[in-house]
Amino acid sequence: MTSTTPGRPTEPASGTRLTGRIRRVAAASAVAQGLGEGITLVQTVVLARLLTPAEVGIFAAGTVITTFLQEFPEGGLRAALVNRRHDVERAAETVFWATLGAGLVMSLGALVAAPVIGWIFDSSTAGMIAAVSAGGLLVYSLANVPEAFLQRAFSVKRRLIVGPAVSASFAVVSVTLAALGFGVWSLVIGTYASYLTLTVLVWCLAGWRPGQVRGSVALWREMARYGFPLVAGSVVAKVRQLAESVVVGRALDTAALGQYRYGLRISRVPVNAMVEVVSYALFPAFSRLADDRVRLVGAYRRALSAVTVVAAPLAVLLLALGEPLVVVVLGEPWRAAGWFVMATAGLVIGKAFSIVSEEAIKGFGRTALIHRLNAVELVLGIGLLALVFPLGLVGVGVAVSVTALVVGVQATAAARRELEVRTSDVLRATVPALAAALVAGTGTWLLETTVLHSDSRAVWLGVVFLAVDGLVFLALYVGLLAVVDRRGVNDLVTALRRRRGDRTAARVAPDQPDPAG
């Protein structure tokens, strides 16, 4: 029996059907993320040549407050709605009005705080950008409920349409206006374009409208209790990013803040991919398996192994090739961003562990465990930042990496205890890929620094040499992984073959369409 509300059935789906839906939405997410990141890469390269690091830094300074407040209106309620097992329609109405009201309050608060931003960064332009950007918080808050319904339904259309469209809207608007001489304001207008695109598209796809039932304060309290640790985690992450931006912009200068902004954007490309591909599918899947511990534990182990196989090489590649990659792609003026990228390589693997483990904890309904992770991230992140910021951007990057790694290991330990997973299973899922990636990365770094020197070549030749680095790394990594983790490689090959069989079966007897697309 299924719910009449767009979203998930009231009973867990069968193993075969649930696995098939996870694979489909993960594949769609991977395709969409590839398209979106491709668009973002082109846009970043073009804007890096149309705008100066100082202009990008002014934009980063002006949007500090809106970036910090962006997730506050949601307040963990969207995740609570995805996890909801009954009375979904009333819960959705409650979340809609609660997040809309919070979005309005946050927008007004950001507008009032705009002069403070101008004072902190000693820039009237930054203050003006803060004031103009404030309304984006209200627009963004409107997307929460339709986003939750689309995630509940494992919506493939959401992945394939919305993500690339949002990236394209920002790229087209910001690049066009930058070319016309709008400077930093091209980024502000481009951000509004992306918010509007997101909101319009998710409402069109979700098939839900408010006003069908009445919301409930009691429901809000219940869902807020579930979501509070999640919003607390978001607050901690935002506080850290705010502190990093203020330290870099105030202690160094706005040009360094621009280097930080673009360096962090590059470092987070693989992290964003994991969030989009892994988190979007795993959270509703873990939620459905919450009453079946055996299946939940098996799904967790497989997810941890798969995400490590992908994240480990990406992290090591950033460490080995971050500087030449940034210089070749963005140009010599952005070399400092390359140093920052190398220093933040640990962010990728730390976030990989955190994402899988936190989604399992959320799906199991034990969000209170996340409080400890939040406390460690806040204390360690700010403490390390205070210690290492005299080292400049590299010091800030090291603080980011170490904090992510410690929190990732702690999240994995918490999930392991809660789900009663053996330590040996966790090590078997993670250590082989990490070891293979480190060895392959060392060989690639030696090749780049002693022979190729990609960042000292013409752009086209630098791209070719970076491609050679990547191919050498891939060959070494896959070969080593096949030696140290033959079982894992065989499982991956088996999964790919099974997925191909699923696609064939789907063409013969397709699933019923999801209510939300």
Lowest mean pLDDT among 388-397, 409-418, 435-444: 388-397
Residues 241 and 344: their CA atoms lie apart, in Å, by 13
The mean pLDDT of 417-427, rounded to a whole number, is: 84
Q: Which tokens belong to 326?
A: 């940034």
- Whether 7 shows a pLDDT value over 50: the answer reads no
pLDDT digits (tens, 9 = 90+) for 436-460: 999 999 999 999 999 989 988 888 8
Q: Give pLDDT, residue 502.
A: 43
% the chain with pLDDT above 70: 84
Lowest mean pLDDT among 48-52, 73-77, 99-103, 423-427: 73-77
Instruction: Check residue 253 and give left, alpha or beta (phi > 0: left; psi -120 to 50: alpha).
Output: beta
Q: Give pLDDT, residue 508.
A: 36
- Whether 297 shows a pLDDT value over 60: the answer reads yes
Of residues 31 and 213, more confidently modeled: 213
Q: What is the mean pLDDT of the chain?
A: 80
Residues 473 and 403: their CA atoms lie apart, in Å, by 27
The mean pLDDT of 179-192, rounded to a whole number, is: 92
pLDDT digits (tens, 9 = 90+) for 227-242: 777 777 777 777 777 7
Lowest mean pLDDT among 227-231, 328-332, 342-346: 227-231
- Whether 10 shows a pLDDT value over 60: the answer reads no
The mean pLDDT of 303-332, rounded to a whole number, is: 88
Q: Give pLDDT, residue 511.
A: 37
Of residues 113 and 258, more confidently modeled: 113
- Whether 483 shows a pLDDT value over 80: the answer reads yes
Q: Give pLDDT, residue 86.
A: 77
Going by pLDDT thresholds of 50, 70 and 90, the confidence category of residue 373 is confident
- Whether 14 shows a pLDDT value over 70: the answer reads no
Whole-model pTM? 0.63
Cα distances (Å, whole numbers) of residue 302 to 103, 259, 405: 38, 37, 20
Going by pLDDT thresholds of 50, 70 and 90, the confidence category of residue 30 is low
* Cβ-based neighbour number of residue 494 at 10 Å: 10
% the chain with pLDDT above 90: 20
Q: Give pLDDT, residue 487.
A: 63
Cα distances (Å, whole numbers) of residue 448 to 19, 74, 240, 435, 442: 41, 45, 33, 20, 10
- Whether 192 shows a pLDDT value over 80: the answer reads yes
pLDDT digits (tens, 9 = 90+) for 81-123: 887 777 888 888 998 999 899 899 999 999 999 998 888 887 8
Report helix, strand and coil shares of the chain as percent, to nearest 5. Answer: 85, 0, 15
- Whether 275 shows a pLDDT value over 80: the answer reads no
- Whether 273 shows a pLDDT value over 80: the answer reads no
- What is the distance, to the nearest Å, from the Cα of residue 189 to the centroid of all Cα atoms in its chain? 23
